[in-house]
């Protein structure tokens, strides 16, 4: 075991897969010699060579299209989009091409591509770096959308994502890259896609969340405990498709739930979670399921992040509304 | 617009490459591809076959027995000449109009018809036949071809990837990105732009101020050539040369084939008389790739009315047979579609699968 930050765990997962499978290729803007703008691919080109880890021209659509092409010739591309706000340039390649490859070829071809990309607020990035756009991906049949919140999850989920034979959008929250260290096994291990994780057990309220909001929710749960409430925190880990069973089991136990996301209210996946709970567990509910989200504006100017991003106090407030309904 | 000297110099680099003129005479003997008499006859057969197939497909579409169909009459030389220059293991990434190329590469007519109707079996490419499904998103095939070509290079295959788009397609971002990526990686890609003069109703002059599409290769730093797309020998020779260039490690090529579609853009209600004059059509009729190649072969004593009729009958028979086979394909069920989504079905689909399975078994 080693103490790793999330970014180190991500590098470790890629190193493991580059070693494990000669068809794994890692590429994107500045991921080669430079080791990535966040050092996620640090040392990988030196270790595995330019044929395996390489830079691309600055064109996200080209990167996506190239991944689709490489995938049908037998490669397993791990492509990087430098910031997920740039996904619009490659929406067609991801959701209209790779996500549909298996289906439109009647199963003859498939695209085992992992699309890695940083996102997330709280670090005062310039425009269109931090936007939470997972909701767009979650609406696209044919992809998995994975968002880890810890170094341990990041490594196991990334190895699973790379090994999955269908496209996986793997989103890395920038604020979590180096915010804390955790024990991460040095040997390989996997975490199944599509499985949520109970990060804190509780009996009074279910908090369903993902990404940086997992930590915000855990902090809120501590505060709630001081006020006499025992909250269960579920980290979705995969936001599409949802692990409905874990959510429903928890709600049937606690009878109350909130959903917490960093994305705007009209975006993200919170509305899906609420709908699934309403569909399946309405008779267990003692109160409506409410959402903690960002407001429905464009992502804030950097200096306004603090007042815009949801924080633990927002979670505590909404939790108490539901607990005291 | 007054042209700068630099621009004129660039344009002069892209004079049209032609081997056979409109009268079927060889005007560029030294560029003549090496082809046996049988091969020459085979090329003619394929062009005649494809013309009949196009006529039948239009008629079958009108009868409701085919779905989506993009006519190809006029583009036979461009399509068939370029495909004929390939090795059977080369990859083809076709656009939606490029069905003849994938059929001559090994996809059955029956499958082409199933694709037209909208049946998943139409996309199940036969094992070992290196073709992608026809691409509807104009330009997506171009960036993908850069990837396939790079893949072939990295796997050290002696093969190339060829792709096709139209004159309108050359205005897309993915067109530029695709040729630029292939250039940056020195990958063996062949990018064919079939300039049939119109993107639905928009003439090529409204796509770009560039005099040729071939010169767009300059922006990617790759080889570019403009070819008479109604001359099958020129198209074949240019593709053959591009293939050689790719395999010898000299990078990708852009080939503009200047051609014309006699029919509408698609069978979905497009009416070319709204945007094309009859003078334009008459002018291009004179350039018909079948007419001039027929003259060339007849002069050599390689083609006869009998051979032509035989081909026509064969085409009609094959098409009848293929349509009958396509009629026999099983109706698609929602559970079939669900099966095709992922290798391993996720929770949401498993649940929906059960619902539809129950519905389907009623």
pLDDT at B2: 85
Cβ-Cβ contacts under 8 Å, B120 against chain A: 103-104, 106
Q: Which residues is A3 bridged to in the sheet?
A: A183
For residue A45, is pLDDT > 90?
yes
Chain-chain contact of B181 with A57 (C-beta, under 8 angstroms): yes
Do A13 and A63 have their domain in common?
A: yes
Do A133 and A15 have their domain in common?
A: yes
Answer CATH for B6-331 from 3.40.1350.10, 3.90.1150.10, 3.40.50.970, 3.40.50.300: 3.40.50.970
pLDDT at B9: 94
CA angle B115, B120, B125 (to 5 degrees): 75
Number of A–B residue contacts, CB under 8 Å: 133
Do A117 and A11 have their domain in common?
A: yes
Asked casually if ipTM beats, i.e. exceeds, 0.90, the reply is: yes
Domain count, chain A: 2
Task: Kindly state whether residue A190 falls inside one of the protein's structural domains.
Answer: no
Q: pLDDT averaged over chain A?
A: 98
Q: Which residues of B are catalytic?
A: 261, 265, 275
pLDDT band at A1 (very low <50, low <70, confident <90, very high): confident
Instruction: Name the residue range of residue A160's domain.
Output: 2-184
Chain-chain contact of B148 with A110 (C-beta, under 8 angstroms): no
Chain-chain contact of B137 with A102 (C-beta, under 8 angstroms): no
For residue A57, is pLDDT > 80?
yes
Strands B202-203 and B198-199: antiparallel
Of B139, B155, B162, the closest CA to residue B246 belongs to B162
Shortest distance, CA A324 to any CA of chain B (angstroms)? 33
- Tens digit of each residue's pLDDT (9 = 90 or more) over A114-141: 999 999 999 999 999 999 999 999 999 9
The closest CB to that of B177, out of A62, A109, A142, belongs to A62
Question: Is B144 within 8 Å of chain A by CB?
Answer: yes
pLDDT at B52: 98
Chain-chain contact of A73 with B151 (C-beta, under 8 angstroms): yes
A 239-278: CB under 8 A from B: 241-245
Q: Which residues of A are catalytic?
A: 129
Do A255 and A148 have their domain in common?
A: no
pLDDT at A202: 98
pLDDT at B335: 98
Of B124, B85, B116, the closest CA to residue B99 belongs to B116
Mark which of A184, A207, A236 sits at the end of a domain.
A184
What is the distance in angstroms between the CA of the first residue and the CA of the last residue of chain A? 45
User: Where are any strands of DSSP class E within chain B?
Assistant: 91-93, 161-166, 189-195, 198-199, 202-203, 223-228, 253-258
Cβ-Cβ contacts under 8 Å, B219 against chain A: none
Shortest distance, CA A89 to any CA of chain B (angstroms)? 10
B 284-343: CB under 8 A from A: 337, 339-343
Closest chain B CA to residue A238 = B346
Cβ-Cβ contacts under 8 Å, B145 against chain A: 69
Chain-chain contact of B151 with A108 (C-beta, under 8 angstroms): no
Best of B68, B111, B126, B143 to substitute, by most chain A Cβ atoms within 10 angstroms, is B143
Task: Kindly state whether residue A149 falls inside one of the protein's structural domains.
Answer: yes
Of A207, A219, A138, A124, the closest CA to residue A171 belongs to A138
Distance, CA of B49 to CA of B84 (rounded, Å): 15
Mark which of A184, A217, A240 sits at the end of a domain.
A184
As given in the structure block, the two tokens for residue A93 are 């390649």
- Tens digit of each residue's pLDDT (9 = 90 or more) over B2-41: 889 999 999 999 999 999 999 999 999 999 999 999 999 9
CATH code where residue A220 lies: 3.40.50.920
CATH code where residue A154 lies: 3.40.50.970
Residue with tokens 């049908």: A72
As given in the structure block, the two tokens for residue A30 are 């500045």
- Residue pair A66/A37 in contact (Cβ under 8 Å)? The answer is no
Do A13 and A82 have their domain in common?
A: yes
Task: Kindly state whether residue A272 falls inside one of the protein's structural domains.
Answer: yes
Question: Is B147 within 8 Å of chain A by CB?
Answer: yes
Chain-chain contact of A109 with B150 (C-beta, under 8 angstroms): no
Shortest distance, CA A31 to any CA of chain B (angstroms)? 16
Do A227 and A142 have their domain in common?
A: no
- Residue pair A86/A63 in contact (Cβ under 8 Å)? The answer is no
Distance, CA of B356 to CA of B358 (rounded, Å): 5
Distance, CA of B7 to CA of B29 (rounded, Å): 30
A 44-103: CB under 8 A from B: 51, 56-57, 59, 61-62, 64-75, 92-93, 96-97, 102-103
Do A72 and A161 have their domain in common?
A: yes
Cβ-Cβ contacts under 8 Å, A141 against chain B: 341
Of A289, A288, A292, A294, the closest CA to residue A317 belongs to A292
Mark which of A127, A162, A184 sits at the end of a domain.
A184
Query: pTM here?
Result: 0.97
Do A213 and A179 have their domain in common?
A: no
Chain-chain contact of B181 with A72 (C-beta, under 8 angstroms): no
Chain-chain contact of A141 with B161 (C-beta, under 8 angstroms): no
Distance, CA of A226 to CA of A230 (rounded, Å): 9
- Tens digit of each residue's pLDDT (9 = 90 or more) over A141-180: 999 999 999 999 999 999 999 999 999 999 999 999 999 9
Do A163 and A219 have their domain in common?
A: no
Residue B4 CB neighbour total at 10 angstroms: 9
A 116-175: CB under 8 A from B: 141-142, 144, 164-166
The closest CB to that of A102, out of B125, B143, B340, belongs to B340
Chain-chain contact of B147 with A69 (C-beta, under 8 angstroms): yes
Phi-psi sector, B330: left (phi>0), alpha (psi -120 to 50), beta: beta
Q: What is the pLDDT along chain B (362 residues), one digit of tens a residue?
A: 788 999 999 999 999 999 999 999 999 999 999 999 999 999 999 999 999 999 999 999 999 999 999 999 999 999 999 999 999 999 999 999 999 999 999 999 999 999 999 999 999 999 999 999 999 999 999 999 999 999 999 999 999 999 999 999 999 999 999 999 999 999 999 999 999 999 999 999 999 999 999 999 999 999 999 999 999 999 999 999 999 999 999 999 999 999 999 999 999 888 899 999 999 999 999 999 999 999 999 999 999 999 999 999 999 999 999 999 999 999 999 999 999 999 999 999 999 999 999 999 98
Chain-chain contact of B177 with A97 (C-beta, under 8 angstroms): no
Question: Is B177 within 8 Å of chain A by CB?
Answer: yes
Distance, CA of A32 to CA of B38 (rounded, Å): 51
Question: Is B173 within 8 Å of chain A by CB?
Answer: yes
Do A119 and A221 have their domain in common?
A: no
Closest chain B CA to residue A143 = B342
Cβ-Cβ contacts under 8 Å, A244 against chain B: 347-348
The closest CB to that of A105, out of B133, B174, B342, belongs to B133
The closest CB to that of B143, out of A71, A93, A102, belongs to A93
Shortest distance, CA A104 to any CA of chain B (angstroms)? 6
Do A103 and A216 have their domain in common?
A: no
As given in the structure block, the two tokens for residue A79 are 């492509």
Do A144 and A7 have their domain in common?
A: yes
Q: What residue spans in chain B does CATH classification 3.40.50.970 cover?
A: 6-331
Shortest distance, CA B9 to any CA of chain A (angstroms)? 28
């Amino acid at each position: 075991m080693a103490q790793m930050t999330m970014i180190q765990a991500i590098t470790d997962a890629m190193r493991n897969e580059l070693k494990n499978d000669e068809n794994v290729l890692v590429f994107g803007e500045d991921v080669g010699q430079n080791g990535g703008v966040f050092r996620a691919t640090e040392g990988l080109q030196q270790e595995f060579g330019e044929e395996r880890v390489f830079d691309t021209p600055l064109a996200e659509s080209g990167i996506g299209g190239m991944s689709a092409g490489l995938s049908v010739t037998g490669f397993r591309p791990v492509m990087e989009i430098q910031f997920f706000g740039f996904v619009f340039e490659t929406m067609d390649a991801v959701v209209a091409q790779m996500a549909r490859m298996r289906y439109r070829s009647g199963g003859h071809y498939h695209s085992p591509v992992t699309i890695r990309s940083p996102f997330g607020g709280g670090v005062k990035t310039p425009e269109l770096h931090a936007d939470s756009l997972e909701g767009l991906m979650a609406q696209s049949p044919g992809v998995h959308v994975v968002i880890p919140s810890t170094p341990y999850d990041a490594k196991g989920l990334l190895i699973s994502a790379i090994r999955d034979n269908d496209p996986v959008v793997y989103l890395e929250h920038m604020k979590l890259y180096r915010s804390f260290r955790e024990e991460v096994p040095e040997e390989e291990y996997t975490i199944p896609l599509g499985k949520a994780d109970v990060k804190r057990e509780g009996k009074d309220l279910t908090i369903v969340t993902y990404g940086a909001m997992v930590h915000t929710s855990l902090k809120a749960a501590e505060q709630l405990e001081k006020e006499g409430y025992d909250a269960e925190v579920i980290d979705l880990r995969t936001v599409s498709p949802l692990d409905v069973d874990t959510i429903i089991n928890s709600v049937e136990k606690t009878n109350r739930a909130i959903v917490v996301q960093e994305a705007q209210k009209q975006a993200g996946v919170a509305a899906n979670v609420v709908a699934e709970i309403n569909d399946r567990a309405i008779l267990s509910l003692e109160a409506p399921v409410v959402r903690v989200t960002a407001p429905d504006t464009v992502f804030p100017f950097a200096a306004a992040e603090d007042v815009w991003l949801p924080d633990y106090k927002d979670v505590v407030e909404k939790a108490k509304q539901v607990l005291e309904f | 617009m007054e042209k700068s000297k630099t621009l004129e110099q660039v344009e002069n680099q892209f004079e049209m490459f032609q081997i056979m003129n409109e009268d079927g005479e060889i005007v560029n003997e030294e560029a003549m591809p090496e082809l046996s008499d049988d091969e020459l006859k085979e090329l003619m057969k394929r062009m005649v076959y494809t013309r009949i197939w196009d006529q039948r497909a239009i008629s079958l579409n009108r009868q409701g027995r085919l779905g989506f169909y993009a006519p190809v009459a006029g583009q036979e030389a461009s399509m068939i000449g370029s495909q004929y220059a390939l090795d059977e293991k080369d990859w083809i990434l076709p656009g939606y109009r490029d069905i003849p190329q994938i059929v001559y590469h090994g996809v059955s007519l029956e499958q082409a018809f199933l694709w037209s109707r909208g049946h998943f079996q139409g996309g199940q490419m036969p094992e070992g036949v290196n073709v992608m499904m026809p691409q509807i998103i104009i330009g997506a095939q171009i960036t993908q071809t850069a990837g396939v070509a790079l893949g072939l290079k990295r796997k050290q295959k002696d093969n190339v990837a060829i792709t096709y788009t139209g004159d309108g397609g050359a205005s897309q971002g993915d067109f530029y990105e695709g040729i630029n990526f292939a250039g940056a990686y020195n990958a063996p890609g062949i990018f064919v732009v079939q300039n049939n003069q119109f993107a639905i109703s928009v003439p090529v002059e409204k796509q770009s101020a560039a005099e040729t599409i071939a010169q767009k290769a300059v922006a990617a730093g790759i080889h570019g050539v403009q070819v008479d797309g109604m001359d099958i020998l020129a198209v074949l020779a240019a593709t053959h040369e591009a293939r050689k260039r790719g395999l010898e490690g000299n990078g990708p090529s852009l080939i503009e084939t200047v051609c014309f579609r006699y029919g509408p853009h698609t069978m979905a209600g497009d009416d070319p008389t709204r945007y094309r004059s009859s003078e334009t059509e008459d002018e291009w009729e004179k350039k018909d790739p079948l007419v001039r190649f027929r003259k060339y072969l007849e002069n050599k004593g390689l083609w006869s009315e009998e051979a032509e009729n035989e081909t026509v009958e064969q085409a009609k028979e094959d098409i009848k047979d293929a349509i009958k086979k396509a009629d026999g394909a099983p109706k698609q069920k929602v559970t079939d579609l669900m099966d095709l989504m992922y290798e391993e079905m996720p929770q949401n689909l498993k649940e929906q699968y059960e619902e539809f399975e129950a519905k389907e078994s009623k």
